[in-house]
């Protein structure tokens, strides 16, 4: 049976401040002279100054305030601060998308001659950055089985390895990697550990507390939560953000729009409620699928039969919202299920209020070779289900009739 996530929002461990749910409603709010209750959308490109002297001080960094919305914006700043509070980070910078966040972390902090060790089980666009983009700038990499700690250790190149990278749970096989153990190996090598925490969500996993140095999110997913807008965010210590990320974003411009930042702020207000409900339903669906004769494998971090169940229990407080399963009959059977569902819709997005299903081999990971997909468990019969906010019984009934086709 799937482990059910906690039902009560708790105060941040070791703090006397507001509980998480309260921070996600009130954290980081900046109010104008009008005293608005809802966060304002500051749709402006530039800002005016009281004097030429003040403008000079702003550009020198001697006067706090905004200069240009490619650099910073009040609505975006509210989103960054709320995410900083949620993650327990020293600093945060928002980006135009999740992939902009991933690319920025690497391109802002690495140079020719540096080396990256990465788990091979990654979203295909992340694999593109590691395997195709970074080599153009003289940055090499080694891909490892993320669950094998010896491989992480053996891949280190003394003096050259500057970054470790992983996502956990992974997309789409939901592998759970021991973040604390990998962090120790990275730090011993003098490298930073970068963690993509999208699938676990900040509600059920806090990588910085486990030893990670940098956390990235596609805010497009659970943080927005309703399939409306793109966004990303990078969270780390103040030095890394200011010495690398801030200047890179300022000069290259993958900025988050104020309107999208406002949508993310609204999404954060209900994030705990949505993720908890979706995770409970995901656990029920995983248990249902495990008993279906046409389903050959179910992967859900909240179940005791998950290959890394012990690690999941140790570093995640819930199984989260994704369920991956395989059906007998390969691609033809998987397509038949996709085409037969009625309430669940076919889409490659996730973390939405609507339940979405996709066939990773022909969508999210289609650029990879069949051999590469099989190497980390993506079969032609595999389907990835992002569980939404519908009534659980309706989703189970939908899957049940689809599996009978």
- Domain ranges (residues) in the chain: 20-267, 272-403
CA atoms of 303 and 110, how far apart (whole Å): 38
Mean pLDDT of 358-382: 89
Out of 27-36, 69-78, 360-369, the most confident range is 69-78
pLDDT exceeds cutoff 80 at 5:
no
**Which residues are CB-contacts of 248 (< 8 A; sequence separation ≥ 6)?**
104, 107, 108
At 254, the pLDDT band (50, 70, 90 cuts) reads very high
% the chain with pLDDT above 90: 90
CA dist 198 and 350 (Å) reads 10
Q: What does the mean pLDDT of the chain come to?
A: 95
Statement: residue 128 has pLDDT above 50: yes
- And the tokens for 229? 């807008």
- What local confidence, expressed as pLDDT, does residue 372 receive? 82
pLDDT of residue 3: 63
Q: What is the pTM of this model?
A: 0.94
**Structure tokens that stand for 24 in this block:** 């996600």
Query: Rounded CA gap, 218 and 216, in Å?
Result: 7
Please give the pLDDT value at position 125.
93
Is 90 exceeded by the pLDDT of residue 373? no
Q: Tell me: pLDDT of 15 over 60.
A: no
Residue 300: pLDDT above 80?
Answer: yes
Give the DSSP H/E element, type plus range, for residue 297.
strand 295-299
Residue 323 DSSP SS3: strand
- Same fold flag, 20-267 and 272-403: no
- Is the pLDDT at 236 greater than 80, yes or no? yes
pLDDT at 10 over 70: no
Q: Name the pLDDT band for 88 (thresholds 50, 70, 90).
A: very high
Q: Is 7's pLDDT higher than 50?
A: no
pLDDT of 288 > 80? The answer is: yes
CA diameter of the chain:
74
Q: How confident is the model at residue 266 (pLDDT cuts 50, 70, 90)?
A: very high
Q: Strand, coil or helix: what is 308? A: coil
Has residue 81 got a pLDDT over 60?
yes
Under DSSP, the state recorded for 135 is G
CATH code: domain 272-403 is: 3.90.1150.10
d(CA 212, CA 195): 7
H helix runs in 61-209, sequence order: 74-87, 98-109, 124-128, 149-155, 179-188, 201-204
Taking a C-beta distance cutoff of 8 angstroms, is the pair 345, 381 a contact? Answer: no
CA atoms within 13 A on the CB side of 134: 28
pLDDT band at 364 (very low <50, low <70, confident <90, very high): confident
Second-level CATH architecture of 20-267: 3-Layer(aba) Sandwich (3.40)
Per-residue model confidence (pLDDT) at position 367: 81
Tens-digit pLDDT profile for residues 99-110: 999 999 999 999
What is the structure's pLDDT at 249?
Answer: 96
Mean pLDDT along residues 21-50: 94
User: What mean pLDDT do residues 120-135 have?
Assistant: 94
Q: Mean pLDDT throughout 32-57?
A: 95
């Amino acid at each position: 049976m799937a482990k059910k996530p906690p039902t009560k929002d708790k105060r941040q461990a070791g703090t006397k401040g507001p509980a998480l749910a309260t921070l996600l409603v009130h954290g980081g709010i900046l109010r104008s002279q009008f005293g608005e209750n809802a966060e304002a959308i500051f749709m402006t490109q530039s800002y005016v100054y009281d004097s030429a002297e003040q403008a000079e001080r702003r550009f020198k960094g001697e006067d706090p305030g905004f200069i240009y919305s490619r650099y910073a914006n009040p609505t975006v700043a509210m989103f960054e601060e709320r995410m900083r509070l949620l993650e327990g980070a020293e600093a945060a910078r928002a980006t135009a998308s999740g992939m902009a966040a991933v690319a920025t972390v690497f391109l802002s902090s690495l140079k020719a001659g540096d080396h990256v060790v990465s788990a091979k089980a990654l979203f295909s666009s992340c694999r593109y950055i590691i395997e195709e983009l970074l080599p153009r700038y003289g940055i090499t990499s080694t891909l490892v089985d993320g669950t094998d700690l010896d491989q992480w250790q053996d891949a280190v190149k003394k003096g050259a390895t500057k970054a470790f990278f992983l996502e956990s749970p992974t997309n789409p096989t939901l592998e759970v990697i021991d973040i604390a153990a990998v962090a120790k190996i990275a730090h011993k090598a003098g490298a930073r550990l970068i963690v993509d925490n999208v699938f676990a969500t900040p509600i059920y996993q806090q990588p910085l507390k486990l030893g990670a140095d940098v956390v990235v999110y596609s805010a497009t997913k659970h943080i927005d939560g309703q399939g409306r807008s793109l966004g990303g965010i990078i969270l780390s210590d103040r030095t890394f953000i200011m010495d690398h990320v801030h200047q890179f974003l300022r000069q290259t411009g993958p900025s988050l729009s104020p309107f999208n930042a406002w949508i993310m702020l609204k999404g954060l207000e209900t994030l705990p409620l949505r993720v908890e409900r979706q995770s409970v339903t995901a656990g029920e669906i995983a248990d249902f699928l495990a008993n279906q004769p046409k389903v050959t494998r179910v992967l859900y971090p909240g179940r005791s039969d998950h290959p890394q169940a012990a690690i999941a229990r140790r570093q995640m407080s819930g199984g989260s919202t994704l369920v991956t399963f395989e059906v007998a009959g390969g691609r033809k059977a998987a397509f038949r299920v996709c085409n037969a569902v009625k309430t669940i819709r076919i889409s490659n997005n996730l973390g939405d209020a609507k339940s979405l299903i996709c066939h990773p081999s022909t969508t999210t990971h289609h650029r990879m070779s069949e051999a590469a997909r099989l190497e980390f468990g993506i079969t032609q019969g595999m389907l990835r289900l992002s569980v939404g906010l519908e009534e659980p019984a309706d989703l189970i009934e939908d899957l049940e009739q689809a599996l009978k086709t």
